[in-house]
Structure 1
């Protein structure tokens, strides 16, 4: 099945109005219609972007509540009104630093879908878990928390495999290692909904850059990337987008 590549930028707690302008100008100059591009800046910068056919906007997290006395939280509706069409759910930094449990991640994903946002669900193992050969066990648990009881949500999701040991470290899984895990994810998802599993886009994240992206995109089950540090450099992020475009033509 042909799946259109998606290149997503996670700026984390970085960025500025100047970067918004530079990134917009860079992307507007590219011929990248063969791939989808997603920018996830801090929520305060969402409204700084002018509408564009070159990219969509996403948020980095959301509340599982729809409204109420939750100081500092942002609901799906607020994010949507600010221009977000996607939202990252369950990033490892949220799971570890903000103590988000599998159950909370599942609730957030369901809230996002109910509000019309496309969730980008992050899954992945720590270095210790990989060394203990628990990669598949950990990822299966993270997926099961969401889709085992709500399989209908799969068709409305994007998945991102982010090995925690590779995030921001400069280390990256080899293309073969990444493909093996992506293939496992797709096979595991098939038990909930085989049709949706074949169609869902599974991105790789973990120190993706202009040098290693082409080899990753060449793998059968890698449908793009969730890019961290390199997404703060418009010229390099553009190279990654173009590499995915080339892969779509091959």
Structure 2
């Protein structure tokens, strides 16, 4: 049986308290018989606000990053335990913007994922290649290395989700072909199945990178795509619900 899909919104460094209105609006647009799970990951400053806005709805809330340590002298950082304590269920780790802007390595991403799981959160581990790596024919090498190095050895389908986001498609309007998405997702599935045996087939694999209502249905229908990690299109209720409805 295929994993239940998840459509997750990554607000990145966007949003003020007034934008909680979009979450309340989204809740009114969702049907009672959703065919997928829904998640919003706002900036840390909005976690409590969005949790309040989503209360009583089918919308879960998660963080965008966490520190590898539970606590300590790490000014400006937030631990997985703190995110869990607020009432969140998920946290994104290893997003390409963290890897690029903050120099995060596979090893660091793995420790963050381990910290998330230890705190009781589901870790969404991001992987993906740059344009130069894609053009150089290194996509599978890069993604394979990231999956091996970033996904914890103790990962289970209940505690870890893998999101494939080709860096060159994030916010650019460029989208891989369905065949390209299928190749990478099939490769990730095979890597997880080799490493985790039968459980490998049960991990949720999300696609991210210029997902919008106009292409969501075709992308979500690709083999081994179990949902989406959505950037800009998750900021507006109408757009995000259009992607969620790809499963209805």
TM-score by length of 2: 0.94
Which residue does 1:69 correspond to in 2?
Answer: 73
**Within-5 A mapping of 1:1-250:** 1-31=1-31, 33-49=34-50, 50=52, 51-147=55-151, 150-155=152-157, 156-244=159-247, 246=248
Q: 1: CA distance between counterparts of 2:40 and 2:208?
A: 14
Equivalent residues of 1:46, 1:83 under 8 A apart: no
Q: How much has 1:146 moved relative to structure 2?
A: 3.2
Matched residue of 1:109: which SS?
helix
Q: 2: CA distance between counterparts of 1:154 and 1:164?
A: 26
Q: 2: CA distance between counterparts of 1:233 and 1:21?
A: 10
Relative to structure 1, the CA distance from residue 28 to residue 194 in structure 2 (aligned partners, 3 Å threshold; closer, same or farther) is: farther
Q: How much has 1:41 moved relative to structure 2?
A: 0.3
TM-score by length of 1: 0.94
Unaligned 5+ runs, structure 1: none
Q: 1: CA distance between counterparts of 2:174 and 2:217?
A: 16
Matched residue of 1:153: which SS?
coil
- Cα RMSD, aligned residues only: 1.2
Matched residue of 1:173: which SS?
coil
Runs ≥4 residues deviating over 3 A: none
Q: 1: CA distance between counterparts of 2:66 and 2:101?
A: 15
Matched residue of 1:191: which SS?
helix
Q: 1: CA distance between counterparts of 2:87 and 2:204?
A: 22
Q: How much has 1:162 moved relative to structure 2?
A: 0.2
Unaligned 5+ runs, structure 2: none
Q: 2: CA distance between counterparts of 1:226 and 1:90?
A: 13
